């Protein structure tokens, strides 16, 4: 069994070193061959030199550097997938470290031969003390994913979805559903997302069988600059924009629409606004709940802009 791990990266040489260290040191079980491809997406730092310096820590030929000039995470992922040929394709991000048993989990699951893709939890590694206002219902903003401690099928009963920062798919499945959408996904200029939502919908529509594995663990570094209200507001606005673009591609969201927007967006935003007004006169304030109410308004504003005004690059 051959696993290609694709790591898109952009100007994160120090964090990339941690990623490479974890990939080099994790135990590789017998019967699994691992190759790592670092896709440099126009970095201006020492990314290439870092990969070259770490090559000695990997088996000969098992760490590869490649450059992708088209800016955007989706472009980088697609380039790395196309440049490899393993039976399995794993994807992690450049601010993550894999658990020492990550490869073992991959091998044990796919040895059974009846699964098309797997995902797992993102355990936060805090770059600063989490603030009191951190809303638990917006953990996705900082890439904190916890689907529980039980193995679960990715189906209509599962509350989460497959995230591309901790995912392993069979190459045959990727060839069936096609590449990641390049009109979605973050770039150096904005925080567009939903490329994972788009991929997950296509996987489900194709009948691909997936499992959430609590033992497929990655550790995700969360820097201090992401633990700010400004970052949360910006992220929620751009996630809303992304959903609007996604919806405009005939991937309609559930619910009745009003002015091109699902009515539940208005409901959440209205409740959030009312709660904000109520908190103004309350002596007992919950900072996390209050900020979550505000973010619902940013979600709506982003969706409306993305659906009616934003023109994504192709």
**226, 244, 261 - which closes a domain:** 226
User: Are 101 and 209 in the same domain?
Assistant: yes
User: Are 56 and 157 in the same domain?
Assistant: yes
User: Are 146 and 190 in the same domain?
Assistant: yes
User: For position 98, which CATH number holds?
Assistant: 3.90.550.10
User: Are 194 and 122 in the same domain?
Assistant: yes
Question: What Rg do the C-alpha atoms of the chain give, in angstroms?
Answer: 20
**191, 207, 226 - which closes a domain:** 226
Considering its fold, how many domains does the chain have in total?
2
CB atoms within 10 A of CB 7: 24
**170, 198, 226 - which closes a domain:** 226
Q: Is residue 313 part of a domain?
A: no
Residue 146: domain span? 2-226
Of 36, 84, 83, the residue nearest 60 (C-alpha): 36
Q: Is residue 314 part of a domain?
A: no
User: Are 244 and 135 in the same domain?
Assistant: no
Q: Is residue 280 part of a domain?
A: yes
26, β-bridge pairs: none
| Residues 262/254, Cβ–Cβ less than 8 Å | yes
Per-residue pLDDT of the chain (314 residues; tens, 9 = 90+): 999 999 999 999 999 999 999 999 999 999 999 999 999 999 999 999 999 999 999 999 999 999 999 998 999 999 999 999 999 999 999 999 999 999 999 999 999 889 999 999 999 999 999 999 999 989 989 999 999 999 999 999 998 899 999 999 999 999 999 999 887 766 655 566 678 988 999 999 999 999 999 999 999 999 999 999 999 999 999 888 888 877 766 566 667 777 777 776 777 777 777 776 676 666 677 889 889 988 988 888 888 888 887 776 65
User: Are 219 and 89 in the same domain?
Assistant: yes
Report DSSP letters for 59-89, one per residue: -TT-EEEEE--S-SHHHHHHHHHHT---SEE
Q: Is residue 17 part of a domain?
A: yes
Q: Is residue 28 part of a domain?
A: yes
User: Are 142 and 6 in the same domain?
Assistant: yes
User: Are 221 and 234 in the same domain?
Assistant: no
């Amino acid at each position: 069994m051959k696993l290609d791990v694709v790591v898109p990266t952009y100007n994160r040489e120090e964090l990339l070193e941690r990623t490479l260290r974890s990939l080099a040191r994790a135990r590789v079980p017998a019967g699994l061959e691992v190759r790592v491809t670092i896709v440099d997406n126009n970095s201006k730092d020492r990314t290439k030199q870092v990969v070259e310096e770490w090559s000695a820590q990997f088996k000969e030929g098992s760490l590869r550097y490649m450059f992708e000039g088209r800016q955007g995470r989706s472009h980088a992922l697609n380039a790395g997938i196309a440049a490899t040929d393993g039976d399995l394709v794993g994807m992690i991000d450049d601010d993550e470290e894999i658990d020492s048993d990550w490869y073992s989990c991959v091998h044990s699951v796919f040895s059974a031969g009846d699964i098309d893709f797997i995902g797992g939890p993102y355990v936060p590694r805090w770059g600063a003390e989490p603030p009191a206002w951190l809303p638990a219902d917006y953990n996705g903003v900082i890439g904190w994913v916890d689907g529980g401690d039980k193995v679960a099928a990715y189906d209509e009963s599962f509350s989460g979805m497959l995230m591309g920062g901790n995912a392993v798919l069979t190459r045959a499945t990727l060839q069936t559903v096609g590449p990641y959408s390049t009109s979605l996904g973050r770039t150096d200029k904005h925080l567009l997302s939903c490329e994972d939502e788009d991929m997950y919908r296509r996987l489900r529509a194709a009948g691909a069988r997936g499992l959430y594995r609590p033992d497929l663990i990655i550790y995700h570094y969360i820097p201090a600059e992401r633990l700010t209200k400004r970052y949360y507001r910006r992220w929620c606005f751009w996630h809303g924009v992304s959903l609007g673009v996604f919806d405009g591609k005939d991937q309609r969201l559930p619910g009745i629409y009003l002015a091109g927007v699902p009515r539940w967006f208005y409901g959440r935003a209205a409740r959030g606004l009312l709660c904000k007004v109520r908190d103004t006169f309350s002596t007992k304030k919950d900072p996390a709940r209050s900020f979550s109410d505000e973010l619902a308004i940013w979600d709506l504003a982003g969706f409306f802009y993305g659906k009616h005004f934003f023109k994504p690059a192709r």
